[in-house]
Chain A
């Protein structure tokens, strides 16, 4: 059984939560993600750097009302990878009714 689209990088639990949040928004403040997931700034920065390095997110620093904000966006590539990952998870759930585990080729 294959799990095409399964993405090892996204599947890590914290990154999955970050990408799932971002997939539902056009953009999101760094602070919103940090508060939602209860992460420290450094922990979130580290995860975002990993995702940014893979080309899955972009980080912008617009200035509004004289305040520097940090906005995070899922790139089209990240959106595509996330959707493929969700499809792979659904396929595993649907197909593994009589199997205990499947081997999914990592990205």
Chain B
């Protein structure tokens, strides 16, 4: 059996292939529960720092860090944002995991800076306020973090 295909038909088929691949690449990201867990954990550390005994802040930070370190390797690839599909590894770039770690480190610095600024301003619970601010940044900006085309392999 012979099938006649024009150049235009072949080009249209390739366009379809590229669009479907791009659609799957849009699914790259971290699951919503990760961002909520990170935000709530951040606030918990802030609360422990302001309201708990002196050792509580250190203990909360250590526990939070340990839990986060155990979760990140499983989700940071960005291939399982939802339970509906698993994106092929070839579509993601290895820098995704690095970006997540760097973002969390930057948020830590932001929290400390905001905490000192609030303390200097005479705020009563600077760590709690700073952690709530950063938690909002996490929830609003986190899901967009891995949506960047910079983190996706080009098609082809």
Contact residues in A for B91 (Cβ distance below 8 Å):
24
Q: Is the CB of A32 within 8 A of B4?
A: no
Assuming the contacts A26-B88, A89-B14, A93-B14, asked whether A21 and B6 have C-beta atoms less than 8 A apart, the reply is no
How far is A27 from B11 in the complex, measured between Cα atoms in Å? 27
Q: Chain B residues with Cβ under 8 A from A29's Cβ? A: 83-85
A26 / chain B contacts, CB cutoff of 8 Å: 79, 85-88
Interface assignment of A23: CB less than 8 Å from any CB of chain B: yes
Does any Cβ of B come within 8 Å of A25's Cβ? yes
- List B128-153 residues whose CB lies under 8 Å from chain A: none
Hey, what's the 0/1 contact readout for B76-98 against A, CB within 8 Å counting as 1?
Answer: 00010001111110010000000
Is the CB–CB distance between A101 and B16 below 8 Å?
no
CB contacts (< 8 Å) of A105 on chain B: these are 2
Q: How many pairs of residues, A versus B, come closer than 8 Å at their CB atoms? A: 97
Question: Which of B2, B7, B23 has the most chain A CB atoms inside 10 A of its CB?
Answer: B7
Docked pose: A31 CA to B85 CA in angstroms: 10
Partner of A16, one of B17, B25, B83: B17
Contact A89 B84 (CB under 8 A): no
Contact B2 A103 (CB under 8 A): yes
* A97 vs B11: C-alpha distance when bound (angstroms): 12
Contact present for B21 and A20 (CB under 8 Å): yes
Cα-based distance from A64 to B80 in the complex (angstroms): 15
Q: How many residues of B contact A (CB 8 A)?
A: 27
- Distance (whole angstroms) from the CB of B22 to the closest CB of chain A: 9
Bound complex: CA of A64 vs CA of B82, how far in Å? Answer: 14
Point out the residues of chain B lying under 8 angstroms from A28, CB to CB: 84-86
A21-B24, A24-B91, A92-B7 are known contacts. Are A32 and B1 too (CB-CB below 8 A)? no
Cβ-neighbour of B4 out of A16, A24, A36, A102 (below 8 A): A102
Q: Does A90 belong to the interface (CB within 8 Å)?
A: yes
Other than A20-B20, A23-B88, give 19 A-B pairs with Cβ distance below 8 A.
A8-B3, A17-B16, A20-B16, A20-B21, A24-B21, A24-B25, A25-B85, A25-B88, A26-B87, A27-B86, A86-B14, A90-B14, A92-B10, A97-B7, A99-B7, A100-B6, A103-B2, A103-B4, A106-B3
Give the interface of A toward B (CB within 8 A).
Answer: 3, 6, 8, 11, 13, 16-17, 20-21, 23-29, 31-32, 36, 64, 86, 89-90, 92-93, 96-97, 99-106
Which 5 A-B pairs rank lowest in CB-CB distance, beginning with the nearest?
Answer: A20-B20, A24-B24, A96-B7, A92-B10, A26-B86
